[in-house]
Amino acid sequence: MSKQNHPANYYYTYTSPASSAPPANEMPSSSSASAPPSYDEAVGQLADNNTTTTNDKSTHVPDASIPAYNPAVVPDHDDVTDPLLQESHVENDNDPYRGRPAPPTYSIYRAPYETSSSGEIMTRDQHLNQDGEAILQFLHQHNTTPKMAVRFYGYHEETHWRTRSSRDNDGNWVEEREPVTTRVDDFCFQIDCSEYVSPQCIGMYVTPDKKTGQVKTVRQLCDDYVHEHNKLKELRLTKVIEWNYPELTRAFTAAIRAHGYYHSVEISFEMKEYRITIKSGSDLSRLADNKAVRFLFFITCLWILAWPILWFYRKHYGHNTLQSKWRMNISERDWYNLKVQEVLGQVRHQGQAFGTVPFILG
């Protein structure tokens, strides 16, 4: 077990480096180890300076000055009339349009799209690239509840020596010993928590621009994308789940430490079905994303020149600012109390199965 598979779509990752075990007289006994620490005790046990956080996409909490677009106000089915041109049942003798045919019916545009293995939605529909209102409808149609799982990964490093033969300056063969360090997995498992994500979206909004502080509505951002003539333009919506990730991961790390595991612990919150991307339908955009073209550029080393040019030429809209906010139906404390025994059981079972580390679990 020396390979590490990093998650491709993790939202938040917390890593606690290996620590030295306490003296024998301070180590917990089997009886005490069977009872995990409470949530408050676990959070307080782990010092902040013994942690490493990566890819922390902290949730922006919009205030009243940020105009939020609530997806609930847009129907998820076709309506028979335009919301702004509803038929009136009140007779008006002075109506100049009386007796004329009714206006055409109003329907929501259904754009074709692709779904990746992780549930991310992508489309290059031509109509969406020309109509900001159609983009807004598309974002609402696919703003479904995201899925999330917590990944627990424990590992340690082992160093062994290998012999390498080479010639010295005089042409004689000499043997040299060099250290080789490899990572050994102790446990790796996931616990799904998607069922606790609220199915009701709080709202869709655009966070303030970091440079100018300007705040736009979702419709304004969609219109900006439509008016952009860049052939590599992209618009992306990211679904954000509000939860106290740092505190929850510290609690689980402390519980694992309290049960005798002192090697490195990495806890990641992996997301699925959490991004919606709209791309230009231009030939250049399709070629840039074509896997065969990318492979050809890689083996011919043309990517050294092409990729930087494409990177700077791309125009991104909403990649870091367009979000829809969701909440959990369970608190961090309650989820910890509900799952801590399962987590420790998996750590014990996989650690003993691998035979890589000693455990004091009772």
Q: Which pLDDT does position 190 carry in this prediction? A: 96
Q: Say yes or no to pLDDT of 55 above 60.
A: no
109 occurs within a structural domain: yes
Q: What is the 3-state secondary structure (H, E, C) of the chain?
A: CCCCCCCCCEEEEEEECCCCCCCHHHCCCHHHHCCCCCHHHHHHHCCHHHCEEECCCCCCCCCCCCCCECHHHCCCCCCCCCCCCCCCCCCCCCCCCCCCCCCCCCCCCCCCCEECCCCCEEECCCCHHHCHHHHHHHHHHCCCCCEEEEEEEEEEEEEEEEEEEEECCCCCEEEEEEEEEEEEEEEEEEEECHHHECCCCCEEEECCCCCCCCCCCHHHHHHHHHHCCCCCEEEEEEEEEECCHHHHHHHHHHHHHHCCCCCEEEEEEEEECCEEEEECCCHHHHHHHCHHHHHHHHHCCCHHHHHHHHHHHCEEECCCCEEEEEEECCCHHHHHHHHHHHHHHHHHHHHHHHCCCCCCCC
Q: Which pLDDT does position 24 carry in this prediction? A: 52
d(CA 208, CA 219): 15
For the segment 238-259, the average pLDDT, to the nearest whole number, is 93
User: pLDDT band for position 234 (50/70/90)?
Assistant: very high
Compare 179 and 330 and report the one with higher pLDDT: 330
Q: Which pLDDT does position 250 carry in this prediction? A: 93
337 occurs within a structural domain: yes
Max avg pLDDT among 44-53, 71-80, 197-206, 280-289: 197-206
Strand partners, 181: 159
For the segment 72-76, the average pLDDT, to the nearest whole number, is 47
pLDDT digits 0-9 by tens, 122-144: 999 999 999 999 999 999 999 99
User: pLDDT band for position 297 (50/70/90)?
Assistant: confident
13 occurs within a structural domain: no
Domain count, the chain: 1
| Arithmetic mean of pLDDT over the chain | 79
Give me the domain span that covers residue 287.
Answer: 21-51+59-77+105-146+199-261+274-354
Q: Say yes or no to pLDDT of 217 above 60.
A: yes
Of the listed ranges 105-119, 248-262, 329-343, the least confidently predicted one is: 105-119
Compare 176 and 218 and report the one with higher pLDDT: 218
25 occurs within a structural domain: yes
Q: Say yes or no to pLDDT of 57 above 60.
A: no
359 occurs within a structural domain: no
User: Does pTM surpass 0.95?
Assistant: no
Q: Say yes or no to pLDDT of 30 above 60.
A: no
Compare 287 and 107 and report the one with higher pLDDT: 287
Q: Which two tokens stand for residue 177?
A: 């010993």
Q: Which residues contact 244 (CB under 8 A, 6 or more apart)?
A: 332
Q: Which pLDDT does position 99 carry in this prediction? A: 61
C-beta of residue 46 within 8 angstroms of C-beta of residue 16: yes
Strand partners, 155: 185, 264
319 occurs within a structural domain: yes
Percent of the chain whose pLDDT exceeds 70: 73
For the segment 167-187, the average pLDDT, to the nearest whole number, is 85
11 occurs within a structural domain: no
Q: Which pLDDT does position 124 carry in this prediction? A: 96
For the segment 71-75, the average pLDDT, to the nearest whole number, is 48
153 occurs within a structural domain: no
**Residue entry with tokens 């293995």:** 117
For the segment 209-226, the average pLDDT, to the nearest whole number, is 90
Q: Which pLDDT does position 245 carry in this prediction? A: 94
